[in-house]
Amino acid sequence: MSSEFTCKKSTVEKYDIRWNRGEWALFTIDLETNTMQCHSSFGDYAYSWSSPGESFKRFLIGLEKDCGYLLNKVSRPVFDFDESIKRWKEMIIDYRRDGSIDKEAARDCWQVVVDCESYGVEEEGYCYSIVADSSTITEHFFDAWETFAGVKTFPAAAMTFGKVIWPMLCKVLREEQEQQP
Protein backbone atom coordinates (compact mmCIF):
# COMPACT_ATOMS: atom_id res chain seq x y z
CA MET A 1 0.00 0.00 0.00
CA SER A 2 1.38 3.35 -1.02
CA SER A 3 1.65 6.04 1.62
CA GLU A 4 1.83 8.83 -0.96
CA PHE A 5 -1.08 11.23 -1.18
CA THR A 6 -1.83 14.88 -1.74
CA CYS A 7 -3.86 17.27 0.33
CA LYS A 8 -5.16 20.68 -0.62
CA LYS A 9 -6.55 22.97 2.02
CA SER A 10 -9.24 25.43 0.97
CA THR A 11 -11.74 27.78 2.51
CA VAL A 12 -15.48 27.17 2.37
CA GLU A 13 -18.42 29.33 3.33
CA LYS A 14 -20.53 28.06 6.20
CA TYR A 15 -24.22 28.83 6.75
CA ASP A 16 -25.76 27.79 10.07
CA ILE A 17 -29.57 27.89 9.86
CA ARG A 18 -31.76 27.33 12.96
CA TRP A 19 -35.57 27.27 13.25
CA ASN A 20 -38.50 25.70 15.11
CA ARG A 21 -36.91 25.22 18.51
CA GLY A 22 -34.09 22.89 17.72
CA GLU A 23 -34.20 22.16 13.99
CA TRP A 24 -30.94 22.99 12.26
CA ALA A 25 -29.02 22.83 9.02
CA LEU A 26 -25.32 23.46 8.60
CA PHE A 27 -24.37 24.16 4.98
CA THR A 28 -20.90 24.44 3.56
CA ILE A 29 -20.41 25.83 0.09
CA ASP A 30 -17.09 25.45 -1.70
CA LEU A 31 -16.96 27.94 -4.55
CA GLU A 32 -13.72 26.46 -5.87
CA THR A 33 -15.08 22.93 -6.37
CA ASN A 34 -18.80 23.80 -6.79
CA THR A 35 -19.65 21.59 -3.85
CA MET A 36 -22.59 21.94 -1.49
CA GLN A 37 -22.85 19.94 1.71
CA CYS A 38 -25.57 20.03 4.32
CA HIS A 39 -25.55 18.32 7.69
CA SER A 40 -28.98 18.79 9.27
CA SER A 41 -31.58 17.50 11.68
CA PHE A 42 -33.24 16.01 8.57
CA GLY A 43 -30.19 14.14 7.28
CA ASP A 44 -27.03 14.78 5.34
CA TYR A 45 -26.96 15.90 1.72
CA ALA A 46 -24.08 16.74 -0.60
CA TYR A 47 -23.24 17.08 -4.26
CA SER A 48 -20.56 18.57 -6.51
CA TRP A 49 -21.43 20.07 -9.87
CA SER A 50 -18.69 20.10 -12.49
CA SER A 51 -19.92 23.05 -14.56
CA PRO A 52 -22.89 24.97 -13.18
CA GLY A 53 -22.69 27.46 -16.08
CA GLU A 54 -22.94 30.56 -13.87
CA SER A 55 -21.79 31.69 -10.46
CA PHE A 56 -22.20 28.74 -8.14
CA LYS A 57 -24.38 30.60 -5.63
CA ARG A 58 -26.67 31.86 -8.39
CA PHE A 59 -26.88 28.28 -9.68
CA LEU A 60 -27.84 27.03 -6.19
CA ILE A 61 -30.53 29.69 -5.89
CA GLY A 62 -31.95 28.54 -9.25
CA LEU A 63 -32.34 25.00 -7.90
CA GLU A 64 -35.13 26.23 -5.64
CA LYS A 65 -37.39 26.13 -8.72
CA ASP A 66 -36.56 22.49 -9.44
CA CYS A 67 -36.78 20.49 -6.24
CA GLY A 68 -36.92 17.22 -8.19
CA TYR A 69 -33.57 17.88 -9.85
CA LEU A 70 -31.99 18.82 -6.53
CA LEU A 71 -33.33 15.75 -4.74
CA ASN A 72 -32.18 13.47 -7.55
CA LYS A 73 -28.67 14.77 -6.94
CA VAL A 74 -28.62 14.53 -3.13
CA SER A 75 -31.02 11.68 -2.33
CA ARG A 76 -32.49 8.49 -3.78
CA PRO A 77 -36.16 7.78 -4.36
CA VAL A 78 -37.62 4.83 -2.47
CA PHE A 79 -40.48 2.44 -3.22
CA ASP A 80 -43.80 3.82 -1.96
CA PHE A 81 -45.88 0.76 -1.07
CA ASP A 82 -49.19 2.54 -0.41
CA GLU A 83 -49.02 4.68 -3.56
CA SER A 84 -48.00 1.65 -5.65
CA ILE A 85 -50.98 -0.40 -4.42
CA LYS A 86 -53.28 2.57 -5.09
CA ARG A 87 -51.84 3.07 -8.61
CA TRP A 88 -52.12 -0.62 -9.46
CA LYS A 89 -55.77 -0.72 -8.38
CA GLU A 90 -56.55 2.43 -10.38
CA MET A 91 -54.83 0.92 -13.41
CA ILE A 92 -56.91 -2.26 -13.23
CA ILE A 93 -60.08 -0.13 -13.00
CA ASP A 94 -58.96 1.93 -16.02
CA TYR A 95 -58.17 -1.19 -18.07
CA ARG A 96 -61.57 -2.62 -17.19
CA ARG A 97 -63.38 0.60 -18.09
CA ASP A 98 -61.69 0.91 -21.47
CA GLY A 99 -62.36 -2.76 -22.27
CA SER A 100 -58.71 -3.87 -22.27
CA ILE A 101 -59.60 -6.62 -19.79
CA ASP A 102 -62.94 -8.26 -19.00
CA LYS A 103 -64.73 -8.34 -15.65
CA GLU A 104 -63.32 -11.72 -14.60
CA ALA A 105 -59.74 -10.76 -15.51
CA ALA A 106 -60.10 -7.48 -13.63
CA ARG A 107 -61.39 -9.33 -10.56
CA ASP A 108 -58.50 -11.84 -10.74
CA CYS A 109 -55.88 -9.11 -11.18
CA TRP A 110 -57.45 -7.07 -8.38
CA GLN A 111 -57.14 -10.09 -6.09
CA VAL A 112 -53.42 -10.39 -6.83
CA VAL A 113 -52.90 -6.77 -5.79
CA VAL A 114 -55.08 -7.24 -2.67
CA ASP A 115 -53.05 -10.33 -1.77
CA CYS A 116 -49.83 -8.36 -2.10
CA GLU A 117 -51.30 -5.64 0.10
CA SER A 118 -52.48 -8.12 2.73
CA TYR A 119 -49.07 -9.79 3.07
CA GLY A 120 -47.83 -6.52 4.54
CA VAL A 121 -44.32 -6.83 3.15
CA GLU A 122 -43.62 -3.35 1.82
CA GLU A 123 -40.35 -4.25 0.05
CA GLU A 124 -40.16 -3.35 -3.62
CA GLY A 125 -38.69 -6.60 -4.98
CA TYR A 126 -41.12 -8.71 -2.98
CA CYS A 127 -44.14 -6.76 -4.25
CA TYR A 128 -42.93 -6.95 -7.85
CA SER A 129 -42.41 -10.69 -7.56
CA ILE A 130 -45.96 -11.14 -6.28
CA VAL A 131 -47.67 -8.81 -8.74
CA ALA A 132 -45.62 -8.69 -11.93
CA ASP A 133 -44.63 -12.36 -11.82
CA SER A 134 -48.19 -13.51 -11.21
CA SER A 135 -49.47 -15.67 -14.06
CA THR A 136 -52.84 -13.93 -13.64
CA ILE A 137 -51.25 -10.53 -14.25
CA THR A 138 -48.88 -11.63 -17.02
CA GLU A 139 -51.75 -13.31 -18.84
CA HIS A 140 -53.55 -9.97 -19.18
CA PHE A 141 -50.69 -7.47 -19.19
CA PHE A 142 -48.02 -8.17 -21.82
CA ASP A 143 -45.27 -6.13 -20.12
CA ALA A 144 -46.27 -6.58 -16.50
CA TRP A 145 -42.90 -5.50 -15.07
CA GLU A 146 -43.24 -2.11 -16.75
CA THR A 147 -47.01 -1.81 -16.42
CA PHE A 148 -46.85 -2.57 -12.72
CA ALA A 149 -43.75 -0.54 -11.96
CA GLY A 150 -43.91 0.77 -8.43
CA VAL A 151 -44.31 4.38 -7.44
CA LYS A 152 -41.11 5.90 -6.11
CA THR A 153 -40.94 8.93 -3.87
CA PHE A 154 -38.21 10.62 -1.90
CA PRO A 155 -37.98 9.93 1.83
CA ALA A 156 -39.86 12.41 4.03
CA ALA A 157 -36.62 13.84 5.43
CA ALA A 158 -35.31 14.50 1.90
CA MET A 159 -38.59 16.17 0.96
CA THR A 160 -38.24 18.41 4.02
CA PHE A 161 -34.72 19.25 2.89
CA GLY A 162 -35.94 20.19 -0.60
CA LYS A 163 -39.17 21.96 0.34
CA VAL A 164 -38.30 23.61 3.68
CA ILE A 165 -34.55 23.78 4.29
CA TRP A 166 -33.36 24.53 0.75
CA PRO A 167 -35.63 27.59 0.36
CA MET A 168 -34.18 28.97 3.61
CA LEU A 169 -30.65 28.71 2.21
CA CYS A 170 -31.79 30.25 -1.08
CA LYS A 171 -33.33 33.19 0.78
CA VAL A 172 -30.04 33.80 2.59
CA LEU A 173 -28.05 33.50 -0.65
CA ARG A 174 -30.43 35.88 -2.48
CA GLU A 175 -30.14 38.45 0.30
CA GLU A 176 -26.37 38.07 0.16
CA GLN A 177 -26.39 38.59 -3.63
CA GLU A 178 -28.59 41.72 -3.31
CA GLN A 179 -26.13 43.28 -0.86
CA GLN A 180 -23.19 42.88 -3.23
CA PRO A 181 -22.33 45.85 -5.46
37-69 residue pLDDT tens: 999 999 999 999 998 888 999 999 999 999 999
30 in the same domain as 43 = yes
99 in the same domain as 128 = yes
Half-sphere exposure of 98 (CA within 13 A, CB side): 6
109 in the same domain as 59 = no
The predicted structure's pLDDT at residue 155: 95
The predicted structure's pLDDT at residue 132: 80
Give me the phi and psi of 152, to 5 degrees please.
-115, 140
The predicted structure's pLDDT at residue 142: 82
Asked if pLDDT for residue 163 goes beyond 70, the answer is yes
Question: Would 8 be classed as within a structural domain?
Answer: no
- What is the C-alpha to C-alpha distance for residues 165 and 43, in angstroms, rounded to an integer? 11
168 in the same domain as 149 = no
Question: Would 2 be classed as within a structural domain?
Answer: no
Which CA distances in Å does 6 have to 3, 11, 19, 27? Answer: 10, 17, 39, 25
User: Which of the two residues, 181 and 162, has the higher pLDDT score?
Assistant: 162
Give me the phi and psi of 139, to 5 degrees please.
-65, -30
Helices assigned H by DSSP within the chain: 56-62, 67-74, 81-97, 103-119, 124-131, 135-140, 144-147, 156-160, 166-179
The predicted structure's pLDDT at residue 180: 83
**Percent of the chain scoring above 70 in pLDDT:** 99
88 in the same domain as 148 = yes
166 in the same domain as 149 = no
Asked if pLDDT for residue 122 goes beyond 80, the answer is yes
Question: Would 62 be classed as within a structural domain?
Answer: yes
Angle between helices 124-131 and 103-119 (to 10 degrees): 150
Question: Would 1 be classed as within a structural domain?
Answer: no
160 in the same domain as 141 = no
Q: If pLDDT is split at 50, 70 and 90, which confidence band does 1 have?
A: low
Counted domains in the chain: 2
Q: Write out the residue range of the structural domain in which residue 141 sits.
A: 79-153
- What is the C-alpha to C-alpha distance for residues 96 and 103, in angstroms, rounded to an integer? 7
Mean of pLDDT values over 155-162: 96
